[in-house]
Amino acid sequence: MTIVRVELDQRAYDIHIGAGLLARPGSFAQVAAPKARALIVCNTTVAPLYMQRLRQALAPHFAQVLSCVLPDGEKHKDWSTLNQVFDALLEHQCDRKTTLFALGGGVIGDMAGFAAACYMRGVPFVQVPTTLLAQVDSSVGGKTAINHPLGKNMIGAFYQPRLVVADIDTLGTLPPVEVSAGLAEIIKHGAIADAAFFDWLETHMERLRTLDPEAVTHAVRRSCEIKAAVVAQDETESGLRAILNFGHTFGHAIEAGMGYGQWLHGEAVGAGMVIAADVSVRLGLLDAASAARLRELTRRAGLPVQAPPLPLARYMELMQVDKKNEAGSVRFVLLQGLGHALLRPVPADVVNASLLAHGALATVSEPAAQGRATASTST
């Protein structure tokens, strides 16, 4: 097992990374509360696979282990589904010592974390991510939220977990498209903060796509190290942490514009990174060869490199609802060479040109495509 520490003073916590961790009671010993209860929050897809395993691992550490099973999918990341968690907590008369365990992907992690932040004004929670994307990104850093029809993750709170347990064995049940979605966030970490890691990804992409344990463990660990270092310096995204949103301004617009769940988050981020790299080239920040390398690595990861053909005006409207915006100005995370990111506003004509070059429709009269964009690779 590898341990990565997120240094946040009194709220610091460990990320445990390794194989077989979910079935070991020792993985959760540091959050044990023998006189308290645990509530596992899961979804209908993951529950049959891993619920019982986690329940048995937690049983020695808690007086009672309860469960709450939610519907699966990004389209359910809303108030109605969140209330099901509160219903379970209240029906079982859970108190402030109850610990929530988020067992699943990023949607479950975000909602269980948000519920933990709100219930009785804050109860402990633990992230147990079962998807590659959640293990390398959403389970780390304390961002919790639900979606609104007008914007993704616009309603939420910064609330840190007490522990993250990333069992790489759980990745074996993922469909290839979910593996690719997680690779988008791994590529992002190399692109914004570690050029040597980006080089390593170019060499080992095929091993990652086939879930080679050694390669996956290294990629998860390095991604968590990068994110932990950024979060430790800027927990609430007042400055540096915004670089972790590389590709996300475009990506969130894709998700909202197509309807939540039509594109996986990682797919939208993959296309968004390619567009953001193109913007960087147009502004003279990034050389064309580096942008081409990013596009090719994204393609090799099985991700779309073109955005869906939504009207250009729709993209611009959706990007106005972005947490990085200030005083009505849309700010983008751009690359100043591979391994270096910065945040800055971009002239509308440059954004328009990049979107049009990567799939946006010039007029509102043209119909928008349904489903995923056609990429220059198979997924």
Does the annotation count 227 as an active-site position? yes
Does the annotation count 352 as an active-site position? no
Active-site residue, selected from the candidate residues 218, 245, 255, 372: 245
Question: Does residue 153 contact residue 192 with C-beta atoms inside 8 Å?
Answer: no
Cα separation of 201 and 135, whole Å? 17
Does the annotation count 295 as an active-site position? no
Does the annotation count 185 as an active-site position? yes
Active-site residue, selected from the candidate residues 185, 235, 255, 267: 185
How many degrees, rounded to 5, is the angle at CA 316 between CA 312 and CA 322?
150
Active-site residue, selected from the candidate residues 61, 152, 189, 241: 241
Active-site residue, selected from the candidate residues 16, 188, 248, 372: 248
85 token code pair: 């968690």
Active-site residue, selected from the candidate residues 178, 235, 237, 267: 237
Nearest alpha carbon to residue 209 among 49, 2, 378: 378
Active-site residue, selected from the candidate residues 37, 77, 222, 252: 252
Question: Does residue 170 contact residue 22 with C-beta atoms inside 8 Å?
Answer: yes
DSSP, collapsed to helix, strand or coil, labels residue 135 as: helix
- Ramachandran bin of 266, using left for φ above 0, alpha for ψ from -120 to 50, beta for the remaining angles: alpha
Does the annotation count 245 as an active-site position? yes
Active-site residue, selected from the candidate residues 227, 295, 300, 323: 227
Phi, psi of 185 (to 5 degrees): -70, -30
The residues, any chain, with a CB within 8 Å of residue 15's CB and separated by 6 or more, are: 3, 4, 5, 6, 139, 140, 164, 166, 224, 228
The residues, any chain, with a CB within 8 Å of residue 359's CB and separated by 6 or more, are: 271, 306, 307, 308, 309, 373
Does the annotation count 143 as an active-site position? yes
Nearest alpha carbon to residue 323 among 181, 147, 189, 191: 147
Does the annotation count 7 as an active-site position? no
Q: b/e for 130-144, b at 16 or more Cβ within 10 A?
A: bbbbbbbbbbbbbbb
Active-site residue, selected from the candidate residues 16, 61, 143, 299: 143
Active-site residue, selected from the candidate residues 77, 189, 222, 265: 265
Does the annotation count 188 as an active-site position? no
Does the annotation count 121 as an active-site position? yes
Give catalytic residues, as residue numbers: 121, 143, 185, 227, 237, 241, 245, 248, 252, 265
